[in-house]
């Protein structure tokens, strides 16, 4: 793997390993937070070496840093690089039939800008006064030099800016690749849903990443150059700006970010339920339209995060209505997925189990979000663990299960080796169940009134009875962490000793599986495929009759079709032979 390669597959693997590294870091930080809520003030086993002055227990300032960096690392440095950076870079050119990204150098640049950002974030842990500690939202005035004076917060904000620029560069590349570099015959209606998801995510990234870049840039100016965009009141001498301005800018990006992180997952769910139910995706156009509608609406609802910030009640009603309307297209998508599976020849592979898990957790996350979209119910629940449970289900659990669905599905193509099917399925099922246990526990404590971000919730009399529930939730979280070892073992073992992967182990018809070996060569395809059908030609009578199998390649011309149009060129790339069959 060349370090500065411009091959999209290499860049994808770079994002993958970097994303896993940050996932490990973010996960460990989460475990520490859960320890504090289960055993407040008690020394963490093994942490004495890192925090000798506190004898291994988590101090309030350390705790602030923990939950701040957990959120920032997970959102900007784990989910986004894994779902969009790794899977996006790998899948988009292959699935549209391109020889590579439209701008290969931009692809490499996006990773290296991301890597610089990651390095800044890691460096922030080593500076005096510690890392950032103003929560993942970095609201001023907490995030200004007045309240977090050390260099840690500055380094992290610069790291976030780098991650934002990296996402922006990737988004330009994905959009241009899909629009300009599709193979002949690959119409918009023949794109796999995963590509649609990544395309729409990129459009949202293009529109809203610049907004968070502006917010972060202004915050950095406030911290470093003496401007006063967000500081006011007693915190400044003379006239100041307005911290509320940051909240507007942040949530203009922050709410679409939820969809930025789940749209690729929705696309993957749509693909997986079709492939592994051996049926065409039901209501393909409806699903695409629903995903597009959600994308459009996601930019219009941000102010429901500000219901308790002094927003005008009249605006509250409008934003509440727009927010609740999102549930309509989401329902269309869900129904289409369910109908696709209904009476299908369902194969419970690891990718499908992960996709179904993502459906379930996102469904629960979506339903619990309705309470936060309506003003009347948001006001009592705002700032409680209910919010934490809700967005962990939607942005965390659903996105990570989608990552696993995608990774289990494309792993053979990516590395040319096969994962252990049993370990994969066990990992996915246990992960999904434990996600529900952990984030369900958060919902329950939130409903009982526990505020988020409390160092020791049990200082409050009315929260003391929640210790048992929090302990149970924490133990589920620790188990969830341990279960990930199954994935690590499977990954390491398969990369070293896993059986060589077949060209098309899942027996599906999309270009990457039917026209390229596993792993694909540098230019992806020996010859550019000419697409003649959609991605879901599964269980078609003509395929069964003429080919003796239940799938037809997107660039595969059936003998009958070739005979019926003899003068038309048989424009098709050869289908790579496949023995098929991976559990």
Partner 1 sequence: MTPVDTSAPAAREDEGTAWFGLVVGLSAWAMFFAALAFSVGYLRMREPWPLGGMPALPRILPAVAVLLLGASAVLLHLGGRAARATLPTVGALVALVGSLAVQGFVMSALWSAGLKLPEGGAYASAVYGLGGVHGAHVVAGVLGLVRELVRGARGTDVRGAVRLWTLYAVFLAVTGLILFAAVYLP
- Phi and psi for 350 in degrees, rounded to 5? -60, -45
Q: With contacts defined by CB under 8 A, name the span among 10-18, 34-42, 237-245, 469-477 that binds partner 1.
A: 237-245
Helix pair 467-497, 8-38: axis angle to 10 deg: 150
With CB under 8 A as the rule, give the number of residues binding partner 1: 62
Site map (CB under 8 A) of partner 1, residues 15-44, x = contact: ------------------------------
| Residue of 43, 240, 472, 481 interacting with partner 1 (CB under 8 A) | 240
Residue 386 CB, nearest approach to partner 1 (Å): 30
Among 32, 47, 51, 221, binds partner 1 (CB under 8 A): 221
* Residue closer to partner 1 (CB basis): 176 or 339: 176
Among 562, 568, 577, 581, binds partner 1 (CB under 8 A): 562
Q: Report the candidate in 305, 316, 297, 301 with the shortest Cα–Cα distance to residue 375.
A: 316
Q: Interface residues for partner 1 in 40-99 (CB under 8 A)? A: 97-99
Sequential DSSP letters for 229-265? SS--GGGSSS----HHHHHHHHHHHHHHHHHHHHHHH
Residue 239 found at the interface with partner 1 (CB under 8 A): yes
> Closer to partner 1 at the Cβ: 281 or 572?
572
Residue 550: CB atoms within 10 Å: 17
State in angstroms the smallest separation of the CB of 500 from partner 1.
Answer: 24
Nearer to partner 1, 77 or 525 (CB): 525
Query: How far is 452 from 387, CA to CA, in rounded Å?
Result: 8
> Is residue 517 a contact residue for partner 1 (CB under 8 A)?
no
Pick the closer one to partner 1 by CB: 250 or 410.
250
Tokens of 438: 């952990």
Task: Say if CB 66 and CB 124 are below 8 A apart.
Answer: no
CA distance 68 to 114: 19
Cβ(413)–Cβ(513) below 8 Å: yes
Assess 104 for contact with partner 1 (CB under 8 A): yes
**Per rule CB under 8 A, is residue 485 in the interface with partner 1?**
no
Minimum separation from the CB atom of position 353 to partner 1 (A): 34
Q: Can you tell me which of 252, 403, 434, 537 binds partner 1, judged by CB under 8 A?
A: 252
Sign of CA dihedral 289, 293, 296, 299: negative
Smallest distance from the beta carbon of 205 to partner 1, in angstroms?
Answer: 8
Selected binder of partner 1 within 52, 226, 233, 541 (CB under 8 A) = 226
Q: Which two tokens stand for residue 232?
A: 């006011």
Question: What are the tokens at 272?
Answer: 């997986």
341 binds partner 1 (CB under 8 A): no
250 binds partner 1 (CB under 8 A): no
Report the C-alpha gap between 370 and 327 in whole angstroms: 8
Nearer to partner 1, 387 or 575 (CB): 575
Cβ contact 285:211 at 8 Å? no
H and E: helices and strands count for the chain: 19, 0
CA 369, 370, 371, 372 torsion: positive or negative? positive
Q: What are the C-alpha distances in Å from 577 to residues 514, 518, 523, 553? A: 8, 11, 19, 11
Q: Between 155 and 184, how does the x/- string for binding to partner 1 read (CB under 8 A)?
A: -------------x--xxx-xx--xxxxxx
Among 242, 296, 335, 481, contact with partner 1 (rule: CB under 8 A): 242
- In sequence order, the β-bridge partners of residue 369 are none
Centre a 10 Å sphere on the Cβ of residue 293 and count the other Cβ atoms it contains. Answer: 17
Asked if 100 touches partner 1 (CB under 8 A), the answer is: yes
Instruction: Tell me the longest C-alpha to C-alpha distance in the chain.
Output: 83
List contacts with partner 1 (CB under 8 A). 97-104, 106, 168, 171-173, 175-176, 179-184, 206-208, 210-211, 213-215, 217-218, 221-222, 225-229, 236-242, 245, 248-249, 252, 527-528, 530, 556-557, 562, 569-575
């Amino acid at each position: 793997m060349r370090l500065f390669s411009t091959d999209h597959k290499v860049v994808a693997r770079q994002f993958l390993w970097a994303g896993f590294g940050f996932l490990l870091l973010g996960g460990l930080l989460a475990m520490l937070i859960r320890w504090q809520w289960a055993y407040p003030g008690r020394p963490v086993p093994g942490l004495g070496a890192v925090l000798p002055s506190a004898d291994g227990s988590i101090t309030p300032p350390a705790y602030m840093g923990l939950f701040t960096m957990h959120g920032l690392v997970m959102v900007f440095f784990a989910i986004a690089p894994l779902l969009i950076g790794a899977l996006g870079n790998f899948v988009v050119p292959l699935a549209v039939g391109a020889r590579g990204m439209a701008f290969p150098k931009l692809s490499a640049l996006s990773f290296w800008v991301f890597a610089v950002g990651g390095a800044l974030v890691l460096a922030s842990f080593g500076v005096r006064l510690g890392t950032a500690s103003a929560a993942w939202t970095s609201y001023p005035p907490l995030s200004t030099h007045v309240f977090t004076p050390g260099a840690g917060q500055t380094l992290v904000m610069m790291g976030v800016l780098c991650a934002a620029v990296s996402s922006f560069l990737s988004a330009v590349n994905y959009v241009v690749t899909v629009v300009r570099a599709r193979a002949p015959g690959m119409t918009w209606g023949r794109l796999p849903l995963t590509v649609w998801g990544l395309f729409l995510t990129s459009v949202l990234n293009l529109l809203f990443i610049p907004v968070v870049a502006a917010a972060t840039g202004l915050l950095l100016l406030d911290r470093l150059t003496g401007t006063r965009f967000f500081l006011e009141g007693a915190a400044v001498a003379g006239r100041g700006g307005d911290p509320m301005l940051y909240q507007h800018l942040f949530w203009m990006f922050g709410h679409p970010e939820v969809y930025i992180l789940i749209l690729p997952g929705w696309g993957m769910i749509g693909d997986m339920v079709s492939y592994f139910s051996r049926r065409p995706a039901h209501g393909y156009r409806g699903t695409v339209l629903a995903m597009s509608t959600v994308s459009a609406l996601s930019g219009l609802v941000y102010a429901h995060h500000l219901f308790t910030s002094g927003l005008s009640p009249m605006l509250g009603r409008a934003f509440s209505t727009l927010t609740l309307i999102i549930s309509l297209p989401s329902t269309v998508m869900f129904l289409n997925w369910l109908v696709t599976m209904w009476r299908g020849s369902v194969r419970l592979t690891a990718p499908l189990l992960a996709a179904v898990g993502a459906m379930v957790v996102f469904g629960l996350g979506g339903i619990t979000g309705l309470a936060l979209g309506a003003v009347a119910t948001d006001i009592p629940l705002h700032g409680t663990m209910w919010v934490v449970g809700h967005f962990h289900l939607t942005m965390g659990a659903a996105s990570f299960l989608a990552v696993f669905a995608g990774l289990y599905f494309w792993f053979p193509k990516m590395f040319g080796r096969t994962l252990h099917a049993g370990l994969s399925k066990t990992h996915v099922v246990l992960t999904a169940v434990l996600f529900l246990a952990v984030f369900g526990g958060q919902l329950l404590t939130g409903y009982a009134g526990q505020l988020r971000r409390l160092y020791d919730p049990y200082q409050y009399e009315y929260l003391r009875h929640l210790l048992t529930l929090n302990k149970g939730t924490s133990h589920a979280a620790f188990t969830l962490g341990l279960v990930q070892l199954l994935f690590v073992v499977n990954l390491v073992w398969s990369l070293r000793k896993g059986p060589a992967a077949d060209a098309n182990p899942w027996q599906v018809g999309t270009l990457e599986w039917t026209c390229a070996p596993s792993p694909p060569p540098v230019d992806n395809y020996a010859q550019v495929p000419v697409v003649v059908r959609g991605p879901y030609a599964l269980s078609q009578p003509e395929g069964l009759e003429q080919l003796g199998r239940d799938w037809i390649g997107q660039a595969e011309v059936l003998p009958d079709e070739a005979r019926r149009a003899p003068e038309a060129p048989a424009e098709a790339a050869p289908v790579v032979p496949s023995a098929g069959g991976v559990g």
